[in-house]
Chain A
Amino acid sequence: MAANFWTSSHYKQLLDTEEVDVVHPLDKERGMTLEDFKLIKLHMANYIARLAQNVKVRQRVVATAITYMRRVYVRRSMTEYDPRLVAPTCLYLASKAEESTVQARLLVFYIKKLYSDEKYRFEIKEILEMEMKILEALNYYLVVFHPYRALSQLLQDAGMNDATQPTWGLVNDTYKMDLILIHPPHLIALACIYIASVQKDKENTAWFEELRVDMNVVKNIAMEILDFYDSHKLITDDRVNAAMNKLAR
């Protein structure tokens, strides 16, 4: 698939950061800040990943689900589309779209297991209704490209197969941010390789220069990822809860 990213709907839908970092007016009314907005999306990305671990799906499904969730909130408000319902529904829809269906009742079962909080509890029926609304919010575009494939090819090409583990982890972490909505996946992969190279003191400037990509973009993505790691240390449960509490239900 990777070969056709440039003609895909994913490519055509890539956004600027300014377009992604917009708090919906309805959410603003509830006092939600951009900071809260990002925190909730991060929290939901983690929720999807945890849920996915329980129902046992491939990382690709997790990545697609998180991308769906992030795309939904480019267009819709959290006030109208409760993230606690949107997140598992995105996982449900992504599992179908990625050809490894998870049953809705299984999701409901694990949601109950993970969260005792009433606000996270949803019936199968609610998930199925939300599925339709998410499809609409996504404008029925379901194919998503991810950095993973580019990553393994690039690592091999760079002779960095030993860095597969850490870079793979880095790529996973990029889904805690909105990068997948903004940058082509192979550039995200390159940014992760760049970080790993710097970390390991591996000199492969020549390799990067031979690639026909804009290294400035790659470096900027890498900086964004590193900034995120810095700010991530400051995120506490209290801050997440405070943000979530602005979403009265």
Chain B
Amino acid sequence: MSEAVVDRYEKREVLGEGTYGVVFKAIDRKTGQTVAIKKIRLGKQKEGVNFTALREIKLLKELKDPNIIELIDAYPNKGNLHLVFEFMETDLEAVIRDRNIFLSPADIKSYIQMTLKGLAFCHRKWVLHRDMKPNNLLIGPNGQLKLADFGLARLFGSPDRRFTHQVFARWYRAPELLFGAKQYGPGVDVWAAACIFAELLLRRPFLQGNSDIDQLGKIFAAFGTPKSLQWPDMVYLPDYVEYQHVPGQPLRTLFPMASDDCLDLLSKMFTYDPKSRISAQQALEHRYFTSIPPPTEPASLPRPPPKRESVNSRVSDFNPQDGPTVLSPPRKLRRVMPQREGFDINAQLTDTMDDHGNEIRQTAGERSGQAPMSLDFSVFGMRPPSRPTINSADRSHLKRKLDLEFQLPEEE
């Protein structure tokens, strides 16, 4: 029976290497549709179908929505499980990074709206995505943005369930997670969506911490250290430590180009207390989405030209020095942004990128003073620092926490 399914798909080129297997392009002979097939490696043959893959299957079978990647089919072949996804041309990270693309306010509105729609749908279905970041937001041939990579996603039905806080790539991690919260909700995805929103506006990752501590420092430098009135439960979080008080920047300074509505929504998504943070559904109902300009039609959105090697879900450019978990499209120099008032950025950038890199790291240390990252437009000229994903320590932590919850202590 599986033979017939195998014959249905005409294998094309390999698109890349994902976290748990090879992804290749294929044509569905039955429908003529282009698809991406993830071949799940069965690894050491010790624990059967990969746990992460199983999670993704389980949730994607329930989640059918225009803004969620479609799992079309699954079939075993030669002992390996194959997942058939709709084919996606590129991802949001590639859009953000492409220096030849200009994103108008209407374009940004459209991209973040689709992101929030996908997220609101997940949350309605009681699914937390837990790994929201631009390269998990895939873009299809008609410009539709879709949430992908549900390998970390979970159902959050029971309110008392405790989860691991080691989720999300660091730059997108909500403050409650950085303080070690084990019981959290959809707010963590909203925070990450806010980071993506900011990234669309700035055209670079907004809060680029290089450790969990530093990440909180970056957050506080931007928005000010939270007062207990703002976030009463903060002090009870497991890893809470007191931070030196810093005032934070007006959003207007951080995002000089954004409209008032845009900043209002952004501030509601970046609310410290997860209980008062806006939900994805409420965010969609915010006036930002009804005020002018209306969001661009997906089909008219600027996208990088489709290349020979298209980027797809789970496809990484496998950058050896970053390790295989960095799933990013091919490196590109950052776009030099169009002139903004007050920031002469066109001048001297590309030549001194290493120096700037150091500068960033230095300024990161001192968390008083002006927000180093957020005002530092010099990053536009330099190679982007490697994006952190779930790192190996986190991964092993996750493994322990989730895979082996009920394992008896036994020797290998």
Contact = CB atoms under 8 A, between A and B. Distances in A.
Q: Do A and B bind each other?
A: yes
B124 A97 contact: no
A143 B407 contact: no
Contact of A101 (B2, B58, B406): B406
Given A99-B405, A101-B405, A136-B76, A7 B125 contact: yes
Given A9-B61, A142-B58, A99 B79 contact: no
Contacts of B407: 101-103, 106
A55 interface: yes
Interface centre among A103, A124, A125 (most CB of B within 10 A): A103
B406 A136 contact: no
A149 B54 contact: no
A171 interface: no
Contacts of A99: 154, 402, 405
A136 B57 CA distance: 12
B74 interface: yes
A5 B311 CA distance: 35
A103 B410 CA distance: 10
A227 to B, nearest CB: 32
A242 B45 CA distance: 36
Given A99-B402, A104-B47, A4 B81 contact: no
Interface in B26-80: 42, 45-49, 51, 54, 57-59, 61-62, 74-76, 79
A206 interface: no
Nearest to A99: B402
A9 B74 CA distance: 16
A101 B408 CA distance: 11
B322 to A, nearest CB: 29
Given A3-B126, A56-B406, A136-B75, A143 B48 contact: no
Interface centre among A55, A96, A104, A127 (most CB of B within 10 A): A96
A36 B152 CA distance: 42
Contact of B157 (A57, A101, A149): A149
Nearest to B399: A101
A89 B331 CA distance: 44
A136 B49 CA distance: 12
B406 A143 contact: no
Interface residues of A, number: 37
Contacts of B402: 99, 101
Contacts of A93: 49
B154 A125 contact: no
Interface string A129-154: 10111011000111100000100000
Nearest to A60: B158
B257 interface: no
Contacts of A92: 48
B210 to A, nearest CB: 31
Contact of B51 (A4, A96, A106, A135): A96
Nearest to A97: B58
* Chain B contact residues, majority secondary structure: loop
Contacts of A141: 61
A2 interface: yes
B404 interface: yes
A79 interface: no
Interface residues of B, number: 35
Interface string A83-114: 00000000011011101111110100000000
Given A101-B405, A140-B74, A128 B45 contact: yes
Contact of B45 (A8, A100, A106, A125): A125
A98 B302 CA distance: 41
B81 A8 contact: no
Interface string A11-36: 00000000000000000000000000
Contacts of B354: none
Given A1-B155, A101-B406, A132-B81, A142 B57 contact: yes
Nearest to B2: A136
Given A131-B48, A135-B81, A141-B61, A101 B403 contact: yes
Given A141-B61, A142-B58, A149-B157, A96 B49 contact: yes
A140 B84 CA distance: 12
A131 B49 contact: yes
A125 B261 CA distance: 58
A228 to B, nearest CB: 29
A124 B46 contact: yes
Contacts of B45: 125, 128
Given A125-B45, A136-B75, A4 B406 contact: no
A55 B407 CA distance: 9
Interface of B: 1-2, 42, 45-49, 51, 54, 57-59, 61-62, 74-76, 79, 81, 124-126, 154-155, 157-158, 402-408, 410
Interface of A: 1-4, 7-9, 55-57, 92-93, 95-97, 99-104, 106, 124-125, 127-129, 131-133, 135-136, 140-143, 149
18 contacts: A4-B124, A4-B125, A57-B406, A92-B48, A97-B54, A99-B154, A99-B405, A101-B404, A101-B405, A103-B47, A106-B408, A106-B410, A128-B48, A131-B48, A132-B48, A132-B79, A140-B57, A142-B58
